[in-house]
Each structure stands twice: as structure tokens, then as C-alpha cells.
Amino acid sequence: MAKRTSIMDAHTVSKKLSITRVRVAVRLRPYMEKGEDKICVRGLDSQSLQIINWRNQMETMQYQFDAFYGDTATQREIYTGSVYPILSHLLIGQNASVFAYGPTGAGKTHTMLGNPNQPGVIPRAVRDLLQMTRAATEENWIYSITMSYVEIYQEKVMDLLEPKNKDLPIREDKDHNILIPGVTQKTINNFSDFDEHFIPASQNRTVACTKLNDRSSRSHAVLLIKVQKTQQVPPFRQLTGKLYLIDLAGSEDNRRTGNQGIRLKESGAINSSLFTLSKVVDALNQGLPRIPYRDSKLTRLLQDSLGGSAHSVMITNIAPEQNYYFDTLTALNFAAKSKQIINKPFSQETTFSVLFTSSVQPTMKRPREDADTTAPSQKLKKTKSDSVDESPDSCNESVRKHKLNLASLDPSVVERLLKLDKILTEKGRMETQLLSTPKRERMALLKKWEESQMEIERLKEKQKELEEKALAAEARLEKSNSSDLDFSDSSVSESMFRVPLRSRATSTAKAKKVLRVLPLQGLTNQSNIQEEVIPVVKKSRRKKASSGQENEPSWEVTMRSDVVQSGREKILHLLNNGSIKELKSLQKIGDKKAKLIVGWREHNGPFKMVEDLAIMEGMSAKLVSSFLKANILSIVAS
Ligand code: ADP
Ligand code: MG
């Protein structure tokens, strides 16, 4: 009972907290290549780095992160800067995760585990958590720490503390806590307890050789440290904070590492898991509503400890050698997806000879304030090196050498780089728009959009309603007025401009189209049915009638034939009897044409039909058609 209350408590606490994004740190390991490989990446300051642009070696690409650790950064600096600050949250029942990402050989295991002389994140965090719980002096509360250690290999969860537990399930309880039923949990009271369990378990990890590294890990090693805080008096509340410390599998490209057969399959599984992780981090940092946790075992396991109220840090490990160029770029782009790249021009003081030909300490010549004042407009900022423009010989030499080296890249790698570049350019464009809009504004815009959608729905409903009313009114009128043509002022529009029943019967779409000519905003006056049927006279898109008679006014299809007939007769009467002045009152008939009409009828006798006008000089069937169209409505109404 007590446990139940406590879980609910912890859950409520976490629900109330605002969402925190995944912090991204990048660590550059020291130059280690024995051969003549060049350096292609270097730090700029405590948050940013630059890498040569493979497409144009006169340019560099600059990336900014929450933290950047250069090749001289110590294990302690990384730990105190990016990991230690999140540990205190575990003592109040919140979750956290730290994971090392990057290509094989770039320093993930060194960062997470380290060695006895340079202990990494895992031993430091365990030691400090033990100390913190010991030092906590809250009355009537006690702390306990347990550990579990699993490996995710080919989308299967294996228990490293008890290797016979293979393919363990991952479940979610009703309070949305993620758990692995059946996984071994060991209590650790001191650091030697931890050592005792951890060291043999580490040896159980699946490792295999690849071309890049002798002991390359191709599985995800997941260490779970649970901190439990239990109340010793009623109501015996219990808070649980989970810390995941993860050494991820290498992010390198299969083709480059020469993985074959089963290993290629393993890499495929690793990569799909990493790919999902990248999507999850991306979605979290963009504040997207759907996070694809369920798409891989790794992210499913991390669901309650990545995003939400959890505190997460991703340490992306990269190597400086050109040999790693492609994998470094891929890793940086993964990490940078969640970042905005600042717009900083390449420093005048930095020369290519310093930049790319030797292992160098990052120089910090650029003032940090730049980062705050420039617009975060691009994911990748490509900048021309001013120093190269000045072309000192040494720089050119360096650039030339570098060019040659990059030119020797495997063609398949170049092809992939081009694809990656294209995807990123497109994605960058989209994301920049999203990311450059502050969250609050985005929410307001979304709300507005939802409101307008609702309004549109409402208006559509109204329009439908009005259409039905119009049809009903029309049917009524059709019944009562079918034979007489009442041109009195009050009824003229109703009786004359409605859609002929015949055309509606043969073409509903056409009839509907005619009825819908009013814009939505015009449909607010529900009672004015006349207005809805007024714009009946619409020119049909059919140019010629099927009979082939060009002079058949195509717009007639939208008018009642008796109305048209009456109009024609009135016009014909005017043509045969009207004075020049009366003729000039017709649309499209000027002084010249009026005189011609009078002369023609005196010479040839009366017109037999309006279309006879086409015989006259300066007239044509087309002109007669438009003459009729222009006059028929006004003449029947007059
Ligand atoms: P990964 O786990 O990413 O495959 P490793 O951690 O095994 O890479 O690192 C590869 C090699 O580089 C190891 O010999 C490791 O000791 C060394 N190394 C990595 N990072 C550093 C560093 N920051 N300082 C010194 N050596 C490092
Ligand atoms: Mg490793």
C-alpha cells in the first residue's frame, strides 16, 4: 500500500515538472593516429568547434553545443561539467540518463568507464551517489542504491549480471514506469560492492573485431543505478530515481568498417537503434508531440528517463583524424540536430596551417558574446576563411595538401556525403523555421490555427444548410411558377436566375457549382436565399455545342430557356424597330453600329433572328454571342 502511494507521488511530481530537453556535449579525443593522417576538426571555444567542409576546403562548418570539450579536457572536467549537476535530481525521485555516442575508437568507453588512472563517468557517478545518499540527513528517510547491468544486442536485452537471462522483456506499469521484469538487481552499499559486480559483468559484453578498433563494441551497454528513498514512518512513502549510464554501440558506417555477414546484420540492428535514438532526441528537442520511443528496444527502455521530467546528457565522442572524417560529420550532425548553429565568421587569426596540419590546442580568440548576438539562423554555417583569401603561401600549401587527402576519399563515401548534405540542407531549412520560432509563439500559432479550422468547419456547415434551403426554395418556386414569367421588380431575380431543373437533373455537379459561387463570408445572411441563386449566369466552359454551331450562346445552359427566348424576341424587336438612339442604348452598340443596323434593315428588310447581325460588316458570330450575353438580362428585366 505504502509503495503504491509513493509511486503515485513520484509520478505526480514528475508530471508537474516542465519538460527538459537533452543536453548535448561533444568531446574531441586527442590525436592518436600513428601514420600521417591530418586533423580535420578542432575546437573554437567551450561550446563550439569547426570542421573542414569536404565540398569546399576554403570553408569550414561550425557547430555549437551545450558544451564542447577539447582534446586536452580531463575526465574530471567532463564529469563535473556535464554529469555531476544532474545527480542531485535522483535523490528526489527523478530520472536521468547519460549516454556516450560516436564512432568506434572515438572515446565512448574511455568517457564512460575510463581506466584506473583516469576513471570515467560511471565510477565517478557511483562514488558520488553513494556519498550523497550517505550525507543526506533528512529525518526518518533512508536511501538505498541498487544496480542492474544489461546489454542490448541485436534488439535483445541481455542481463550482464546473470548471462543466462537472455532476451528480457521491457514493460511499462500503469504509472508509466519502464521496467525489465526478471532483471538482476544488486544492492550496493559501498564502492567495492559495485566493483565486485561490475567488473565480471563487463567481461560478459559481446565484443568483436572491426577494422577500426580491436575491441569494438557493437552492442549498447546499459548500466542502471536506482536510488530509492524510503520514509521510515507512516505513510512510508518511497521515491525512486533511476540513472542510466550508457555506452552506446559505435555509430560508424558499415561499409567503411568492412563489416560482413553477421556483423553487417549486427551493425544494421545497432544502427536502427541509434537511428531511433536520433529521432527521439530530435523530437524531444523540437518539442514534437509524438516521440518514437517504441521504435527500438533502447529508446523504449529509456522512455521514462529521456525527455519528460528526466535529465539527460548525450556526450558525443569524436576523433580528430581525417580518417574519421565521415563518421565525425555524421556524429556531429546527429548531435547538432538538437542545436542551433550560430552564425560566426571564421576568425581572421586562425590560419589553415595551424588549423589542419598539426594537433593543436583549441585557441579561444573569439569572444563568447558573439554567440548571443548573432541570429541562430542555420544548422550549418559555412564561412569563407579570410586568411585563405589573403593567400599566404603556407596556408595555400596546407589547403592543397588537405585537398589531396580529401580527394582520396572512397567514391562511395563521397556519394553518401552528397546525400547527407542534401538531406541536411532540406531538413535544416525546415527545422530552422521551427526552431527559430520560440515555443510560446509556436503554441499561440497552433491555437490560432485550430481556431480557424473550427471556424472553417462551422462555415462549411452553414453553407451546406443554406444550400439545402436554396434548393428547397427553388423547388417550391419551380412548382408555383413553372409557366409564367413574372418580371416584376420583387421577383425578378428569383424567377429568372435560377438553375434550370433540366440541367440540375443531368449534371448535379454543375448545379452545385452554380449554387456555390458565393464566398464563405457571404453566407452569413441565412434568410437571403435570392442572393444565393443570383449568380446563375455563368459562362459554360464548353466552347462549342456538340452540334458544332459556333453561334449558339454557350451560357444559355445556365438559364431557363423561356427566359432566353423572351430576351431574344425583345432584342430582335428592337433591332428591327428601334431608332438609332434606342439601338445605342444596347450594350456593345455604338453610333457606327446603330447606323449600320438601321441601314441594313432598310436595305434587306427585318432581321429574322438576332444571329443575322453576324452578316453585317464588322460583326462575327462571337461578337453576336457576347452582344446577346451583354443585353439579354437587362432587356428582359426592363
Ligand atoms: P570507443 O569506446 O568509442 O570505441 P575507446 O574509448 O575505446 O573508444 O577509445 C579508443 C582509444 O582511444 C582507447 O585506447 C582509449 O584509451 C583512447 N582514448 C579515447 N579517448 C581518450 C582521451 N580523451 N584521452 C586519452 N585517450 C583516449
Ligand atoms: Mg567502446
Burial string for 321-341 (b: 16+ CB within 10 Å, else e) reads bbbbbbbbbbbbbbbbbbbbb
pLDDT at 417 over 70: no
**351 Cα–ligand 1 center, Å:** 28
pLDDT at 357: 36
**412 Cα–ligand 2 center, Å:** 26
- The closest ligand to the CA of 207 turns out to be 2
pLDDT at 494 over 50: no
Question: Which ligand 1 atom is the nearest neighbour of the CA of 115?
Answer: 16
Amino acid identity at 157: V
In which band, very low, low, confident or very high, does the pLDDT at 601 lie, cut at 50, 70 and 90? confident
pLDDT at 68 over 90: yes
**319 Cα–ligand 1 center, Å:** 9
Q: How far apart are CA 345 and CA 383, in angstroms?
A: 6
**57 Cα–ligand 1 center, Å:** 28
pLDDT at 491: 34
Question: Which ligand 1 atom is the nearest neighbour of the CA of 213?
Answer: 4
In which band, very low, low, confident or very high, does the pLDDT at 605 lie, cut at 50, 70 and 90? confident
Q: How far apart are CA 18 and CA 284, in angstroms?
A: 13
Determine which residue's CA is closest to atom 12 belonging to ligand 1: 107
pLDDT at 385: 35
Task: Tell me if the domain spanning 561-637 has CATH number 3.40.50.1000.
Answer: no
Average pLDDT over residues 263-274: 60
Instruction: Compute CA 306 distance to the chain's CA centroid, rounded to the nearest angstrom.
Output: 20
Quick one: which of 245, 147, 235 has its CA closest to 197? 147
In which band, very low, low, confident or very high, does the pLDDT at 409 lie, cut at 50, 70 and 90? low
pLDDT at 129 over 90: yes
**111 Cα–ligand 1 center, Å:** 8
Q: How far apart are CA 469 and CA 532, in angstroms?
A: 10
pLDDT at 432 over 80: no
> CB-side exposure of 466: number of CA atoms within 13 Å?
25
In which band, very low, low, confident or very high, does the pLDDT at 131 lie, cut at 50, 70 and 90? very high
Domain residue ranges of the chain, discontinuous segments joined by +: 8-349, 463-555, 561-637
**100 Cα–ligand 2 center, Å:** 9
H/E stretch holding 7 reads helix 2-16
**282 Cα–ligand 2 center, Å:** 24
pLDDT at 415 over 80: no
In the three-class reduction of DSSP (H, G, I as helix; E, B as strand; rest coil), residue 319 is classed as coil
Burial string for 612-638 (b: 16+ CB within 10 Å, else e) reads bbbebeebeeeebbbbbbebbbebbee
pLDDT at 365 over 50: no
**219 Cα–ligand 2 center, Å:** 9
pLDDT at 123: 96
Q: Which residue has the cell 412548382?
A: 479
Q: How far apart are CA 614 and CA 626, in angstroms?
A: 11
Q: Which of 71, 74, 104, 110 to mutate to test the pocket of ligand 1 (most atoms within 8 A of CB)?
A: 110
CB 341 within 8 A of CB 64: yes
Question: Which ligand 1 atom is the nearest neighbour of the CA of 317?
Answer: 3
Determine which residue's CA is closest to atom 16 belonging to ligand 1: 110
Average pLDDT over residues 398-413: 45
Decide which of 99 and 285 is more confident: 99
Q: Which of 29, 111, 219, 246 to mutate to test the pocket of ligand 1 (most atoms within 8 A of CB)?
A: 29
**121 Cα–ligand 1 center, Å:** 13
Tell me the per-residue pLDDT of 497-524, one tens digit each, with 9 for 90 and over: 333 333 333 333 333 333 332 323 222 2
In which band, very low, low, confident or very high, does the pLDDT at 198 lie, cut at 50, 70 and 90? very high
Average pLDDT over residues 82-96: 95
Task: Name every protein residue with a CB atom under 6 angstroms from any ligand 1 atom.
Answer: 29-30, 32, 102, 104-110, 213, 216, 250, 317
Q: How far apart are CA 359 and CA 544, in angstroms?
A: 81
Question: Which ligand 1 atom is the nearest neighbour of the CA of 110?
Answer: 6
pLDDT at 200: 87
Tell me the per-residue pLDDT of 275-310, one tens digit each, with 9 for 90 and over: 888 889 888 878 888 899 999 999 999 999 988 888
Q: What is the DSSP string of 363-431?
A: P--S-THHHHHS---BSSEEEE-HHHHT--HHHHHHHHHHHHHHHTS-HHHHHHHHHHHHHHHHHHHHH
Q: How far apart are CA 454 and CA 460, in angstroms?
A: 10
Q: Residue 304, Cβ neighbours under 10 Å: how many?
A: 24
Quick one: which of 230, 250, 251, 252 has its CA closest to 239? 230
pLDDT at 20: 65
- The closest ligand to the CA of 114 turns out to be 1
β-pairing verdict for 311-318 and 96-101: parallel
**444 Cα–ligand 1 center, Å:** 47
Decide which of 567 and 179 is more confident: 179
Mean pLDDT estimate for the chain: 70
pLDDT at 112: 97
pLDDT at 501: 32
Contacts of 453 (CB under 8 A, 6+ apart): none
Q: Check residue 383 and give left, alpha or beta (phi > 0: left; psi -120 to 50: alpha).
A: beta
Quick one: which of 15, 36, 23, 25 has its CA closest to 78? 25
Determine which residue's CA is closest to atom 18 belonging to ligand 1: 107
pLDDT at 235: 92
Contacts of 573 (CB under 8 A, 6+ apart): none
Burial string for 221-230 (b: 16+ CB within 10 Å, else e) reads bbbbbbbbbb
pLDDT at 546: 41
Q: How far apart are CA 469 and CA 606, in angstroms?
A: 46
* pTM, 2 dp: 0.58
Tell me the per-residue pLDDT of 21-45, one tens digit each, with 9 for 90 and over: 889 999 999 998 776 667 888 898 9
Contacts of 462 (CB under 8 A, 6+ apart): 523, 524, 526
pLDDT at 190: 96
Decide which of 74 and 403 is more confident: 74
pLDDT at 240: 95
Contacts of 87 (CB under 8 A, 6+ apart): 96, 125, 128, 129, 132, 243
Question: Which ligand 1 atom is the nearest neighbour of the CA of 217?
Answer: 4
Question: At residue 172, what are phi and psi to the nearest 5 degrees?
Answer: -125, 130
Question: Which ligand 1 atom is the nearest neighbour of the CA of 103?
Answer: 3
pLDDT at 25: 96
Question: Which ligand 1 atom is the nearest neighbour of the CA of 113?
Answer: 6
Which of 3.40.850.10, 3.40.50.970, 3.40.50.300, 3.40.640.10 is the CATH number of 8-349? 3.40.850.10
pLDDT at 424 over 50: yes
Question: Which ligand 1 atom is the nearest neighbour of the CA of 111?
Answer: 6
Average pLDDT over residues 243-260: 75
Among 37-51, 405-419, 556-570, which stretch is predicted with the lowest mean pLDDT?
405-419
